[in-house]
Amino acid sequence: MSFAEKKKHGSMDAAFEAGKRKMNIEDTVCSDLLPSNSKAMINRLTELLDEHKTNCLQFRPCQDDTRVRKVMWLLMSQVFGQMATIEMSNLWDELCADEIRRRAERKQAERLAAKTNGG
């Protein structure tokens, strides 16, 4: 595909075709326009994890890799908004509220059953 065709089709590396390095999705973090293809971001994250020979983002070299952090920022910006502040404990409470409520109800039902069964 020629440079003109890539540009016409919006290829991410079209702007870099004229002798510059290939552009990766994380290179768009500081651009005027951000990518919207979540699958491409996830695929790039997988490539970076493979490069570090791990499947865990908690692996210190992944945490220290700016490329990984940029891809994660892109993904998080799609979920929470580009300039959101995320309080992880509040998010956990929100995401787990139904499960916490179900557990409490189950525990209460077990106590009630034990009480009514003479226990």
12: amino acid identity, one letter: M
Note the pLDDT tens digit of each residue in 74-87.
Answer: 999 999 988 889 99
Which is higher by pLDDT, 51 or 116? Answer: 51
Band of pLDDT at residue 34, cut at 50, 70 and 90: confident
Q: Which residue has the higher pLDDT, 94 or 10?
A: 94
Model's pTM, two decimal places? 0.67
- For position 19, what pLDDT does the model report? 52
Residue 1, pLDDT above cutoff 50:
no
Which domain range does residue 95 map to?
87-119
Same domain, 114 and 59: no
Q: Are residues 91 and 72 in the same domain?
A: no
Q: Are residues 79 and 108 both part of a single domain?
A: no
- Same domain for 80 and 93? no
d(CA 71, CA 109): 45
When divided into structural domains, the chain yields a total of 2
Same domain for 76 and 105, yes or no, is no
Q: What is the dihedral of CA 70, 37, 6, 29, to 10 degrees?
A: -20
Residues 13 and 67 in one domain: yes
User: Tokens at residue 86, please?
Assistant: 């995320």
Examine the domain organization and report whether 9 and 31 are in the same domain.
Answer: yes
